[in-house]
C-alpha cells in the first residue's frame, strides 16, 4: 500500500525510513519517541516519552498511585507521582486483531428471547 492511500492517520517521520519497524516499533522502540503538545487556555503543556519498556507522560492533576497490569496484551507496572505517569513493561505486545477475536469468543452471550417473549 502506498503512503498516499493511508487514511487512518498521517505517517510519523520515522516511518519514512527503511526498516523502521525494527528500530522504532510501538512495543519496544530502540529510538526514543518524544511528543510535545503546547498548552492553550484550557490545557497545560503536555509531553510524552516512549523508549524501550518505559512510557512517561505528564498529567494535569496532582495524584499518587501504583498499579500492576497483567493482561493478554500487556505486562506493566505503573506509577503516578505528582503531575507524572510512568509505565514500565510491555504494552500492546501482540496484534490487536488476535486479541479482539479471542475476546469475542470469550465474551458472555446476552440472554435471548424466545417467540413467547421469555428469556432462555
Q: Judge whether 115 lies within some domain.
A: no
Distance in angstroms (rounded) separating the CA atoms of residues 96 and 54:
20
- The three cell numbers of residue 83 are 503531575
Q: What pLDDT score does 56 carry?
A: 94
Distance in angstroms (rounded) separating the CA atoms of residues 109 and 120:
12
Q: Cell 497483567, residue?
A: 70
Distance in angstroms (rounded) separating the CA atoms of residues 96 and 40:
34
Is this structure's pTM higher than 0.75? no
Q: Judge whether 120 lies within some domain.
A: no
Count of CB atoms situated within 10 Å of the CB of 33 = 15
Q: What pLDDT score does 1 carry?
A: 52
Q: Judge whether 51 lies within some domain.
A: yes
The count of structural domains within the chain is 1
Beta-bridged to residue 49, according to DSSP, are 34, 56
In the chain, beta strands by DSSP E: 33-37, 46-51, 54-58, 65-71, 74-81, 84-91
User: Chain centroid to CA 35: how far?
Assistant: 14
- For the cut 90, the answer to whether the pLDDT of residue 65 exceeds it is yes
**What confidence category does residue 39 fall into, taking pLDDT thresholds of 50, 70 and 90?**
confident
Q: Judge whether 113 lies within some domain.
A: no
Q: What pLDDT score does 70 carry?
A: 84
Coil vs helix vs strand at 20: helix
Amino acid at each position: 500500500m502506498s503512503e498516499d492511500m493511508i487514511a487512518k492517520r498521517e505517517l510519523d517521520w520515522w516511518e519514512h525510513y527503511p526498516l523502521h519497524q525494527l528500530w522504532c516499533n510501538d512495543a519496544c522502540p530502540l529510538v526514543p519517541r518524544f511528543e510535545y503538545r503546547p498548552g492553550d487556555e484550557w490545557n497545560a503543556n503536555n509531553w510524552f516519552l516512549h523508549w524501550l519498556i518505559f512510557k512517561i507522560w505528564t498529567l494535569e492533576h496532582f495524584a499518587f498511585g501504583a498499579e500492576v497490569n497483567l493482561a493478554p496484551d500487556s505486562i506493566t507496572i505503573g506509577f503516578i507521582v505528582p503531575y507524572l505517569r510512568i509505565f514500565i513493561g510491555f504494552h500492546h505486545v501482540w496484534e490487536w486483531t488476535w486479541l479482539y477475536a479471542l475476546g469475542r469468543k470469550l465474551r458472555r452471550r446476552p440472554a435471548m428471547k424466545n417467540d413467547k417473549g421469555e428469556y432462555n
